[in-house]
Structure 1
Amino acid sequence: MTCQICGAWLPVGAMFCGECGSSRTATVESRKRPDPRPNDTTIIARLPRQTVVISVPIPTAVSAPVRAVAVVTAAPTARTVLPAATLPTRATFVLTFSTGQRVSVRGSGLIGRKPLPQPDEMFDELIRVADADRSVSKTHLEFGQHDGEFWVSDRVSGNGTVIRRPGETAEQLEPGRRYVLPRGTRVEIADHSFSVA
């Protein structure tokens, strides 16, 4: 007897083909049945990331020697030396959470129960919020700064994000869109919150 799938010879009493592993009774038609398992993956369409290009003028004449500063570019071991004059200035913002946690930030980052960047993303800070009730998403919010202003963007979180700027009404964030926040703004992430100072 031969295998009906690959044509290999089957010894007497064999239940499976030694070449392709098919059942002795398998046919080409029986192998073409659709997969009966349900599709349990939901794809969430994410908005494209906004690319911000910041141009820094290069001085034509330098009267004094420029001090070199090491800047981490891609990985902690890869370093590039740039003149100090070309580094963008970053303001320091203090985030005070309802959990009692207080974090000073100067660059970009993610906030959540267990924030994790995508493989093509790099952030300066990953801030974990202790949330036993799991109302905060694992990667709930992204933040950064542009021209010395602090901004936040909801990362398609399960319970959403609400901001309360000083003297204004509450505003629900649209996922993927950046919102500039002045100091004194309160940001509500599910059952928790933080203030920007």
Structure 2
Amino acid sequence: MTCRICGAELPEGAMFCGECGSSTSATPESRRRPDPRPGDTTVIERPARRNSGVISIPVDGFRAAVAIGSVDDSGGELLAPAAPALREPLHTAPVAARFVLTFSTGETRTVFGSGLIGRRPLPQPGEVFDHLVQIADRSLSVSKTHVEFGEHDGTLWVADRFSGNGTIVRRPDDGAMRCEPGRRYLVPRGSRVELAEQFFVVS
């Protein structure tokens, strides 16, 4: 008999695991804390002195970059405007905004689209991301899946994924702000995002 949470060997008839304390009927799915506000993108009103904060993004704002020669909703092929010299349609895909994340560990990552950051980031079932960025944190202050990030109108946003030690955003023209879990916060270039004892700077 094996614990389905930590994999420890258990004696027959055991009701709890002696290693992790889990019930022998527990599964990784049953131990996962449910998101109390799934899909919540409600805007939070903030004092006028701050120039940006929580954003509300429509679902269609997260469509992946259009592939070359893909078909739009009306059935027509998506083409870029014709170049003046050639007068012929060019097949191009929209260019996604790219951001450089410089971590306190000395690592640098160039990212675009969406992703997760943490000690061992892992998507939930059904989630798909462009990046899974792993932070080396020996103090274990950073959660396994600490924050989610994405792009909105050319600006990076982050959302705390109910991490153990929280997330703080420091913008160049604003004070520090602790992120409410599950809400998206704009982080313009030059901002610093603190993940417990580690941080990264967006450029």
**Aligned counterparts of 2:150 and 2:103: Cα–Cα separation in 1:** 17
Task: Give SS of 1:94's match.
Answer: strand
Contact 1:188 1:194 in 2 (8 A): yes
53, 75, 82: which one aligns with 2:60:
53
Runs of 4+ in 1 over 2 A off after TM superposition: 36-45, 49-52, 54-59
Partner of 1:146: 152
CA distance in structure 2 between the partners assigned to 1:43 and 1:119 by the alignment = 11
Q: Give how far 1:113 is off.
A: 0.2
In the alignment, what sits opposite 2:108?
102
Bigger Cα Rg: 1
Counterpart of 1:66? 90
For residue 170 of structure 1, report the CA deviation from its aligned partner: 0.7
Query: What code does the residue aligned with 1:154 have?
Result: D
Q: 1:195 aligns with which of 168, 189, 201?
A: 201
- Secondary structure of the residue aligned to 2:60 is coil
Superposition map of 1:1-197 within 5 A: 44-46=33-35, 47-49=37-39, 50=41, 52-54=59-61, 64-67=88-91, 84=92, 87-197=93-203
Offset at 1:43?
A: 5.5
- Output the amino acid matched with 2:38: P
Cα shift readout 1:50-86 (whole Å, capped 9, x = no counterpart): 5521499867x9652332xxxxxxxxxxxxxxxx2xx
SS at match of 1:53: helix
In 2, Cα distance between equivalents of 1:65 and 1:42: 53
1:133 deviates by 1.2
Distance 1:114 1:43 in 2: 15
Matched-pair contact (CA < 8 Å) for 1:89–1:148 = no
Q: 1:118 Cα shift?
A: 1.2
Task: List alignment gaps of at least 5 residues for structure 1.
Answer: 1-35, 68-83
CA distance in 1: counterparts of 2:98 and 2:157, whole angstroms: 13
Aligned partner letter, 1:66? L
Return the TM-score normalized by structure 2: 0.63
CA distance in 1, matches of 2:202, 2:103: 9
- Distance in 1 (alpha carbons) for counterparts of 2:192 and 2:186: 12
SS at match of 1:121: coil
Percent pairwise identity: 51
**Whole-Å Cα distance in 2 between the matches of residues 44 and 121 of structure 1?**
16
CA gap of 1:139–1:43, structure 2 versus 1, over 3 A, is: closer
Structure 1 residues 127, 43: CA separation in 2 closer, same or farther (over 3 Å shift)? closer
User: How many residues are aligned here?
Assistant: 145
TM-score when normalising by structure 1: 0.64
Rounded to whole Å, the distance in 2 between the matches of 1:104 and 1:121 is: 21
- Structure 2: runs of 5+ lacking an equivalent: 1-14, 17-21, 42-57, 67-71, 73-77
RMSD: 2.8
Alpha-carbon distance, 1:45 to partner: 3.3
